[in-house]
Chains A and B, each alone.
Chain A
Amino acid sequence: MPPVPSQVQALLEALTVTPPLEGYLVVGAFLFAIGAWGALVRRNAVVIFMCVELMINGVNLTLVAFADYLPNAGGLGVSYAVLVIAIAAAEIAVGLAIVLAVFRSRRTVNVDEVTSMRG
């Protein structure tokens, strides 16, 4: 078995090392930011819902990451994540129902055209 080059050795070690908390947080923040950007700029209601899902999952990632790095919390963060997933499912159910109802009455899912709540 040829000796493994030291660079490869270092790479393998780097892969097996537990990544730091910051990594998870940065990824979570990116997910949230992408979701927020999408929710603000896209017009299609269905896409907006997908972006909201992205934001929710960004938050979920940070919750899980914190749960892993804070053992004293006793895994509370994970249970929160489960809760968030459940609520997200319910939200999507209601939200899509609203989108369907709007589509039926207006033949569009473009949120810019749905402004009947103007003050």
Chain B
Amino acid sequence: MQTVGQQLIITAIPALPALVFLVLALFGRILKENAQYVAILGVTVSLVFSVFALLFVAGIVPGGGSPIEFSKNWIDLGEGGSFPMGVYIDGLAAVMLVVVCFVSLMIQLYSGAFMEGDKRFAWFYAMLNLFTASMLGLVLAPNFIQLYIFWELVGLCSYLLVGHWFEKPSARDAAQKAFIVTRVGDAALFMGIIIFWATTGSTAFEDIVEAAQAGFIGGSLFTTAVVLVFVGAVGKSAQFPLHVWLPDAMEGPTPVSALIHAATMVAAGVYLVARTYDIFVQSPTAMLLVAYIGGFTALMAGTMALVKKDIKRVIAYSTVSQLGYMMLGLGIGSYTAGIFHLYNHAFFKALLFLCAGSIIYAMDSYNLFEMGGLRRRMPVTFWAMVIAGLSLSGIFPFAGFWSKDAIVASAYEEHYYVLFGMAILTVFLTAFYIFRAIFLAFTGEPRTELARGATESPGIMTGPMLLLAFFSIVSGWVGIPEGFGLPIRDYFAEFVVPSEFAQETLNLEGHAFSLGLGALSVAVALGGIGLAYFLYAAKSERAGALARRFSGLHTFLDKGWYFDALYGATIVRAAKWLGRVTTGFDRNVLGGLVGGVGRGALGTGGILQRLQSGGVQSYALFILLSVLIIGVIVGAQYAFLVVALVAVITIAAVAVGARL
């Protein structure tokens, strides 16, 4: 149990950035560039509190050692159930809290220089903090409803931040695309939540797990609900087939890309699957789907990244690919490895984006083919990017190696040979595309004047990069497997473990670290780096010749397998067609009806106007006739005559109106 003070500290983790958001949103115009100090103060305190939560859950703080759990009733429906708001922090959530706060802090430090002089500087920081707060709230959520609220907030923030430079049409379009594509997933997630709530009467994760175990929900309905939840994760984590928004989201400022890709937004999808893992393991179909979607996405995005000219897009596709790895890991039951990769990925992916941002800051270009020779001009950025690249490629002993190898190895050991093949091929592609980008940007001779004039970024940008570079090397060392031969405990695997229930259901056997598989994946990665060197650094004309020779394939990859064209020709076109039809219905049918009544009244008035002759005697005649008619009707006492008369007059009015 925790004391009230401890509960307050935990609540403050997401509340502080939210508070900073409010302050900056209200007083941003006054604070201007000082907004960054407020923001950094807030997120630093959050980071300290997150570390406290981590130590508490790990049992290092006295009284800890167990998951932190408390909640308050939020909406009480009496018999109908209730929706509490609460906190649940186990090892997984604690690690995520620290990662999110840390990466957010690094990015906010960095943004101070990168965004300097921006028109909406304070607003940018306000959004960064709302983004962080939403993600932290999502991580803490113990039930689907709370998770969904923050889930949507994360989506909103990504929309606002990707569209930060909304004066550019492409940024506007990208923001809308990000919002709409993820909305497809969100809608599916919400349907899944409704199914769970309708069948189990609860939205809390543990209640649903128990209800599913007890058989309250099962069979195809259960599988459907789980798959719907997974579609939500697919949308958020940019997995096939909803991956198309992420590369376009590169239109946002580079620090935003770093935040989206490393800690917030896309990590939410993987986190959702991990959080609801006990639900997922009860549906083998869903698990298999998770694994194959992940494996395929990893491979597909890897190929797309091979030919991109835009440095940010290379890294963006790399994220899609790495998220595929995480999904693959979760899907085949290697929970710890999947989360471990999420954790390591946060550091080196944030670093990659900050390096890209540093280059963009120095030479104001995204195009790899306008760079070149930046190694001597920007040494810190170069070495940071090489470290991040090695970590991403999974080279021993960088952080990425430990988690990536764990996923690849368990795919082999669990006998998913197809997935293993995809994974090992992706290792090769990953190493190739990231070092292609590095060689293009940093080696050789400068290709443009911009590259010639580039200088190293200021210390406030390189500082966070160096810190992240440090973590890109060592973050993996907390999870060195027992079988590796080093006298270090596998802290990560002890800390972030699937529940006993999940372990039993999946019936996993522990596998010792396989030196052969580790060596294989490193060898493949080195092969990728070697090929990149051979094609781009040693003799740069080789790559161009290759691209011309296989121009069809090159275009196919460059266009992202024509997914955008496919969706444009089918879904977008259908949606536009539907829009046109409904607009037409509105304009012609409904508008015609409304306008017809109006014109009818006008026309009838025009006709009746002629009766208003001004002659006293004609008025007298009308009065007498009316009295006569009323007398007849009242005398006949036939109410239907009145009705018929009114109907005839109305029809006549509309008919007249339509004719006019």
Contact = CB atoms under 8 A, between A and B. Distances in A.
A115 B620 contact: no
Contact of A111 (B611, B617, B624): B617
Q: Which of B617, B621, B624 has the most CB of A within 10 A?
A: B617
Contact of B614 (A36, A41, A118): A118
Interface string B342-358: 00000000000000000
B308 to A, nearest CB: 75
B612 interface: yes
Contacts of A48: 616-617
A40 B609 contact: no
Interface string B598-619: 0000000000010111111100
How large, as a class, is the contact surface on chain B?
10 to 19
A14 interface: no
A72 interface: no
A117 B614 contact: yes
A40 B615 contact: no
Interface string B86-115: 000000000000000000000000000000
A111 B614 contact: no
A115 B611 CA distance: 12
A63 interface: no
Contacts of A40: 617, 620-621, 624
Given A36-B624, A39-B620, A40-B620, A119 B615 contact: no
Contacts of B621: 40
A96 B616 CA distance: 15
Provide the main secondary structure of the chain B interface.
Answer: helix
Interface in B593-643: 609, 611-617, 620-621, 624
Contact of B616 (A36, A41, A114): A114
Nearest to A43: B617
A116 interface: yes
Contacts of B613: 115, 118-119
A116 B612 CA distance: 11
A48 B615 CA distance: 13
Contacts of B611: 119
A118 B620 contact: no
Contacts of A22: none
Given A36-B624, A40-B621, A112 B612 contact: no
A117 to B, nearest CB: 4
B609 A39 contact: no
B599 to A, nearest CB: 20
Closest 6 CB pairs of A and B: A119-B612, A118-B614, A115-B614, A117-B614, A111-B616, A119-B609
Interface of B: 609, 611-617, 620-621, 624
8 contacts: A39-B620, A40-B621, A48-B616, A112-B615, A114-B614, A116-B614, A119-B611, A119-B613
